[in-house]
Amino acid sequence: MTPFAIERSPLLDGIPHGFFGSAGGVHQFGFGGPGDSADVRSLRAAAAEAIRPGGQLAAPHQVHSPDVVVVDAAWDDAAEGRPVADALVTATPGIVLGIVTADCGPILFADRQAGVIGAAHAGWRGAAGGVLENTIAAMERLGAQREHIAAVIGPTIAQPSYEVDAAFRENFDASHAIFFAEARAREGTPRWHFDLPGFIAARLAAAGLSKIADMGRDTFSHIARYHSYRRSTQAGESNYGRQISMIALP
């Protein structure tokens, strides 16, 4: 098997975790992406083993929702039948939380003192809809304290790569203007570049977190390192790959 391309954050030192890249396009971690589902399942299991030997993967069926699942035991990691949600939290050792992304933000959370971890998938819709705040609240219900929670934003499409139109901007109000940078008009219509990682970080800070880090990796521009929904769409490809981000208790 091709070695995994894993990036880790110093903010989560001591917590088994990793943001997995595509390893030059070889690794595709999403059941909805290209490839045989049995191969995807095997790859995901191997990735979980790389994060925490003997750990069991819990990864949801993601739908850009604000919904969070509390994980007490892993489920069958199959293409069909997984819980529908976009974030996971657990205080159970041996569980490896996983989320897949392809431009949206993967966020890994940990409160070392309480022994509670979380993982969230946040595109603009999920972030605006409360998935981050809901993840923090679910961690608190397991005993975490938000002043102790560290959160790391993994590989996400960067602002210069995320061009949007007026219809997109209408989803936000005037207080969000700082996340929009003017871009060159196209066919006479105004365009902007949206700062998704900045928007996510601001939501985390507004929710009371002070330990926040951004890996600063642009999924769109690093072709050999990450899958990108937008890049695949612009290339006219019929499908697109996903990377996976994982975290477990030590």
CATH code where residue 224 lies: 3.60.140.10
Is 34 within the bounds of a domain?
yes
Is 35 within the bounds of a domain?
yes
Structure confidence at residue 188 (pLDDT)? 83
Residue 76 confidence (pLDDT) above 90: yes
Q: Got the DSSP string for the chain?
A: -PPP-EE--GGGTTS-EEEE--TTTT----TTSSS-HHHHHHHHHHHHHHHSTT-EEE--B--S-S-EEE-SS-----SSSPPB-SEEEE--TTEEEEEEESSSEEEEEEETTTTEEEEEEE-HHHHHHTHHHHHHHHHHHTT--GGG-EEEE-S---GGG-EE-HHHHTTS-GGGGGGEEEEEEETTEEEEEE-HHHHHHHHHHHTT--EEEE----TTT-TTT---HHHHHHTT-S----EEEEEE--
Q: What is the pLDDT of residues 119-171, one digit of tens each?
A: 999 999 999 999 999 999 999 999 999 999 999 999 999 999 999 999 999 99
Structure confidence at residue 25 (pLDDT)? 95
- Mean pLDDT calculated for residue range 68-80: 97
- Mean pLDDT calculated for residue range 94-114: 98
Structure confidence at residue 154 (pLDDT)? 98
Side-chain-side CA neighbours of 84 within 13 Å: the count stands at 4
- Mean pLDDT calculated for residue range 172-191: 93
Structure confidence at residue 187 (pLDDT)? 82
What are the phi and psi torsion angles at 39 (to 5°)?
-70, -40
Q: In the chain, pLDDT over 70 holds for what percent of residues?
A: 100
Is 65 within the bounds of a domain?
yes
Instruction: Work out the pLDDT band at 226, boundaries 50, 70, 90.
Output: very high
Is 174 within the bounds of a domain?
no
- 69 C-beta neighbours (distance < 10 Å), count: 19
Instruction: Work out the pLDDT band at 92, boundaries 50, 70, 90.
Output: very high
What are the phi and psi torsion angles at 64 (to 5°)?
65, 40
Structure confidence at residue 161 (pLDDT)? 98
- Domain count within the chain: 1
- Mean pLDDT calculated for residue range 212-217: 98
CA torsion through residues 175, 178, 182, 183, sign = negative
Is 188 within the bounds of a domain?
no
Q: What is the pLDDT of residues 13-65, one digit of tens each?
A: 999 999 999 999 999 999 999 999 999 999 999 999 999 999 999 999 999 99
Structure confidence at residue 128 (pLDDT)? 97
Is 167 within the bounds of a domain?
no
Instruction: Work out the pLDDT band at 101, boundaries 50, 70, 90.
Output: very high
Is 71 within the bounds of a domain?
yes
Beta strands 95-101; 150-153: pairing state = unpaired
Residue 3 and residue 185: Cα distance in Å, rounded? 43
Structure confidence at residue 198 (pLDDT)? 98
| Reported pTM | 0.97
Residue count of the chain: 250
Structure confidence at residue 186 (pLDDT)? 86
> Encoding tokens for residue 67?
């919904």
CA distances from 7 to 11, 22, 72, 106, 237 (A): 12, 11, 27, 13, 27
Is 56 within the bounds of a domain?
yes
